[in-house]
Amino acid sequence: MQVLFTFDYELFFGADTGSVEKCMIEPTADLLQLSKNYKIGMTFFVDVGYLIKLEEYAQNHAQLQSDLAKVKAQIAEMVSLGCSVQLHIHPHWEKSSYDGQKWQIVTDNCYKLDDFSDAEIEQIVKRYYLYLQQLTGKSVHSFRAGGWCIQPFSRLQKVFKELGLKVDTSVFPGGKFQSPHYDFDFTAVPAYSPAYRFERDVCIVEPNGYFTEYPIASWKYSPMFYWKLYVLGRLQPGRHKMIGDGSFLAQPGRKKSVLTNFTWNHVSADGYYAGMLKRQAASYQSKGVEHFVVIGHPKGLTVYALEQIERFLKATRNKYTFPTFSDLPCN
């Protein structure tokens, strides 16, 4: 089985974005150290909208100039280590701004690409794609939608094809969430789904489709899991508090839902989730799944998560392979 570690490289999008050091630079440095030590491929989905905004404001704000230099240097390090750097789009950066002290994040009616017109979508995707390709000097072929909001894909299909963005990894089987900001429904994709081809609808298999979906592995988590997750963060903040120092965009109703029902969510390297990796990977392997895609966020890592990721790598590095999205045959 191939284990694909993927990390969305970004700030927070709630009231407080957090600092670039705590949300991105420091935790990513720890991940890159693991990548080096264990010779593990990692794929970073870079929030390009943020970088473009940094470029825009850096000339007039020394702090942002320094942030931009740090982020660019770290992306260069990812590339030099053989990690794959791919496209992550959070289009709300289009409406967000910097007030001289902090980012003023605007997410209403602009959190997902579907909130924009066809012309705007085409322009945003092209601009972000070209920026990333120029920055890394490498081929950009894979995509993850911000907030998993990739639907309806028919609105992205044309520009993705034009640019050669042929691989997506936004879907997690069983996942569904609708709120004023979020809108995705992956309940049509069966659990333990292998990679599949698609064309107009990211949830419908089309054997001759141009695009390939590598679904993020998903898992049915018990309410008890979330009780522990929320309690441990308070009882043992040293090990279980996120390294990132910002706040999440609200997901109204979600906390209550996960504390009272079994819910599908990602297989994740973040926080308390990372302790499940070994068991989840074994379960996927037993079902014959070829690609086990794990999602993580540097900002969402904890001391505990980093320990658990390392434990997982030590235990499984001879059992599984750990390619990047650039190593997949479709590229």
Binding residues for Zn ion, rule: CB under 5 A, are 8, 10, 146
Q: What is the nearest approach in angstroms of Zn ion to the Cβ of residue 21?
A: 18
Q: What is the nearest approach in angstroms of Zn ion to the Cβ of residue 146?
A: 5
Closer to Zn ion by Cβ: residue 91 or 146: 146
Q: What is the nearest approach in angstroms of Zn ion to the Cβ of residue 171?
A: 15
Closer to Zn ion by Cβ: residue 147 or 174: 147
Say how far apart CA 21 and CA 160 lie, in whole Å.
32
The CA-atom distances, in angstroms, between 237 and each of 134, 231, 266, 304 are 40, 10, 23, 10
How many helices and strands in the chain, by DSSP H and E?
Answer: 11, 14
Q: How many CB atoms lie within 10 A of CB 305?
A: 26
Closer to Zn ion by Cβ: residue 146 or 174: 146
Which residue lies nearest Zn ion, judged by its C-beta?
8
Closer to Zn ion by Cβ: residue 146 or 246: 146
Half-sphere exposure of 312 (CA within 13 A, CB side): 27
Q: What is the nearest approach in angstroms of Zn ion to the Cβ of residue 235?
A: 28
Q: What is the nearest approach in angstroms of Zn ion to the Cβ of residue 325?
A: 16
Q: What is the nearest approach in angstroms of Zn ion to the Cβ of residue 183?
A: 15
Q: What is the nearest approach in angstroms of Zn ion to the Cβ of residue 144?
A: 7
Q: How many CB atoms lie within 10 A of CB 79?
A: 16
Long-range contacts of 28-34, Cβ-Cβ distance < 8 Å, separation of 24 or more: 28/74, 28/78, 28/298, 29/74, 30/301, 30/306, 31/7, 31/296, 31/298, 31/301, 31/306, 31/309, 32/74, 32/77, 32/78, 32/81, 32/83, 34/306, 34/309, 34/310, 34/313
Q: What is the nearest approach in angstroms of Zn ion to the Cβ of residue 115?
A: 15
Closer to Zn ion by Cβ: residue 165 or 313: 165
Q: What is the nearest approach in angstroms of Zn ion to the Cβ of residue 314?
A: 28
Closest CA to 304 of 205, 235, 219: 235
Closer to Zn ion by Cβ: residue 146 or 175: 146
Closer to Zn ion by Cβ: residue 266 or 284: 266
Name the phi and psi angles at 239, rounded to 5: -100, -25
Closer to Zn ion by Cβ: residue 8 or 270: 8
Helix runs in the chain, H state only: 20, 26-38, 48-58, 62-80, 118-136, 157-163, 223-235, 237-240, 254-260, 277-286, 303-316
Cβ-contact 172, 137 below 8 angstroms: no
Closer to Zn ion by Cβ: residue 44 or 312: 44
Say how far apart CA 173 and CA 190 lie, in whole Å.
6
- The residue type at 199: E
